[in-house]
Structure 1
């Protein structure tokens, strides 16, 4: 059970790193009133084994954010454990919080999670979107790597006439 819990935590952190972001109530790709940008990052992290993961996300060689994931595990079925929780990404511009649902394979350490919405603070207060996290946790030492994909959307700035 400890490995499953750790894997789920790593999965959550991974999900935080990689994700697809789009407005929660808009069609993918945005609308006439929003500007959307694709997002991809790679992450490296650690699963505490206590329902929490931490990771560092990179865009290219540059550190982009840190993440903390908190998860609740479901019932394992055929070696796959579902989980729910949230991943909070933090950098110098603010925070983004992504509620997630995902799965962890307890034999391989492979995990995937997705959010259906994002909320932000500070410089991300108007940001919406979605994220997807995919990665693998080493079930022995509880480290993981992940990819985060998504799209971040913000309201278009209206120009004064």
Structure 2
């Protein structure tokens, strides 16, 4: 398989992964471009072409982590979540709820954020997530569990959360 064929076939999926890792769509495109550049440089060294997908995802996560480490903090977490209307059939309301969830996911530490994205948005198994992250399945399980607990607690600050999700605020 040629590199250009791979990029043409997999770019939409890889862009979705990049968008899951960064809050700004333009930054996601830059992240993907950087990851593809790094992949192109290593293309001839990758013997098993079936492993390319995992390699590119790993490059995306590593590149994003490096960006986080280099960047100064210019965003500050807040104790209050924006008020989100109750989900309903209205597309605008559902989009607002998705936006609120992404903001909550983005407040997670970079490693937990990457694991949640790979596990639930990319629909990878725990083993696949562990492989991409270069860690053990147990580490993925515990990190994702802590991340989900934090997301539940954060979401529990919003009035009506228990009614919408059935989760208990006392679990926080």
Q: Same fold (TM over 0.5)?
A: no
| Larger RCO, structures 1/2 (Cα 8 Å, 6+ apart) | 1
TM-score between both structures, scaled by the size of structure 1: 0.29
TM-score between both structures, scaled by the size of structure 2: 0.28
Q: Between Structure 1 and Structure 2, whose CA radius of gyration is higher?
A: 2
Q: Which has the larger share of strand?
A: 1
